[in-house]
Amino acid sequence: MVDDPKTLVSTTWLSQHLKDPDLRVLDASWYLPDAGRNPREEYDAAHIPGARFFDIDDVSDNRSDLPHMAPPIEKFMSRLRAMGVGDGHQVVIYDGAGLLSSARVWWLFRLMGQENVAVLDGGFPKWQSEGLAVEDMSPLVRDRHMTVRMQNQLVRDVTQVSSASKLGDHVIVDARAAARFRGDAPEPREGLRAGHIPGSRNVPYTALLNDNMTMKDPQTCRTIFEAAGVDLTKPVITTCGSGVTAAILALALERLGHMHWSLYDGSWAEWGMFPTVPVATGDA
């Protein structure tokens, strides 16, 4: 792969830059409840040297009933300042699943106007499999100011997505598994209808990943999107269950040079709950 400090870097790149004074590493591990894993406990037991723990459920908008919605600017700035992450830093984000919630935090940084942020390809499992250093101590942190410039074009709400669904001026791409997209499998969250946003296309996030949870090369990802009926001449809105794996699609789009993308933050947790918006079932 080609290392890009603005999207995706390899374990080799990170190990070579780990002692850079302006590098900040974040463990952004997060799992669905049925995974039976506690990301904070796992971080406390072992993490990449110098990594800070980033809790996506804490660095979120707790005024919303929806899970881990993007936080207000002020909350993001204060939480990151407390982690010692700010202006002038190169940020690398990883997670314990390989490549899952780290992409969500990459998107959140981009939403806040931060450019020098990358996901660790293959995450902590790949790092550990290569015998690279880990530690169980939290780093000493010094406050660092962060300048935030909200990039509103990178996020969409239910009204905007509903309009895009009706007008067809964007391609809506759903990262959930095919059975959930078709409405054949129940949603993991109670009270949600089954199916997908009318007119949307299905690219399960797992289709973009190799067996070791590294991302496939940009040309292969392009082929996968196009095979799913995604017209890459149009702007793309990514969606999923709760706005986490949708960011994997966004990361892949960015790497293949498709810059006109946004993420539906509420995703199916919101759409599937709203009785006034339509739901389609079956294949796209």
Q: For the residues of the chain, what is the DSSP string, one character each?
A: ---BTTTEE-HHHHHHHTT-TTEEEEE-----GGG---HHHHHHH-BSTTPEE--TTTSS-TTSSSTTPPPPHHHHHHHHHHTT--TT-EEEEE-TTSSSHHHHHHHHHHHTT--SEEEETTHHHHHHHTT---B-SPPP-----------GGGEE-HHHHHHHHHH-SSEEEE-S-HHHHHT-S--SSTTPPPSB-TT-EE--GGGGB-TTSPBPPHHHHHHHHHHTT--TTS-EEEE-SSSSTHHHHHHHHHHTT---EEEESSHHHHHTT-TTS--B-S--
pLDDT by residue (tens digit) across 235-264?
A: 999 999 999 999 999 999 999 999 999 999
Has residue 256 been placed in a domain? Answer: yes
Number of domains forming the structure of the chain? 2
* Predicted local confidence at residue 32, as pLDDT: 84
- Asked if 104 and 56 touch (Cβ cutoff 8 Å), the reply is yes
Q: Does one domain contain both 183 and 126? A: no
- Asked if 173 and 237 touch (Cβ cutoff 8 Å), the reply is yes
> At 113, which CATH number?
3.40.250.10
CA distances from 158 to 3, 143, 278, 283 (A): 35, 36, 12, 22
Q: Does one domain contain both 92 and 165? A: no
Q: Which residue has the tokens 């790949």?
A: 126
Handedness of CA 263, 208, 116, 61 (dihedral sign): positive
Q: Does one domain contain both 157 and 112? A: no
* Predicted local confidence at residue 99, as pLDDT: 98
Reported as a pLDDT band with limits 50, 70 and 90, residue 217 is very high
Reported as a pLDDT band with limits 50, 70 and 90, residue 1 is confident
User: Is residue 192's pLDDT more than 80?
Assistant: yes
Average pLDDT, the chain: 96
pLDDT by residue (tens digit) across 132-174?
A: 999 999 999 999 999 999 999 999 999 999 999 999 999 999 9
Has residue 283 been placed in a domain? Answer: no
* Predicted local confidence at residue 85, as pLDDT: 97
Catalytic residue among 240, 247, 249, 253: 240
* Predicted local confidence at residue 34, as pLDDT: 82
Reported as a pLDDT band with limits 50, 70 and 90, residue 45 is very high
Q: Does one domain contain both 123 and 198? A: no
Has residue 277 been placed in a domain? Answer: no
Residue 176, domain extent: 153-271
User: Which domain-ending residue is among 97, 129, 150?
Assistant: 150
Q: Does one domain contain both 167 and 137? A: no
The one-letter amino acid code at 73 reads: I
Q: Does one domain contain both 197 and 68? A: no
Question: Mean pLDDT throughout 189-207?
Answer: 95
CA distances from 29 to 58, 95, 106, 281 (A): 12, 4, 12, 32
Q: Does one domain contain both 129 and 190? A: no
User: Is residue 189's pLDDT more than 90?
Assistant: no
- Asked if 101 and 244 touch (Cβ cutoff 8 Å), the reply is yes
* Predicted local confidence at residue 106, as pLDDT: 98
Residue 221 falls in the annotated catalytic set: no
pLDDT by residue (tens digit) across 49-108?
A: 999 999 999 999 999 999 999 999 999 999 999 999 999 999 999 999 999 999 999 999
Q: Does one domain contain both 127 and 196? A: no
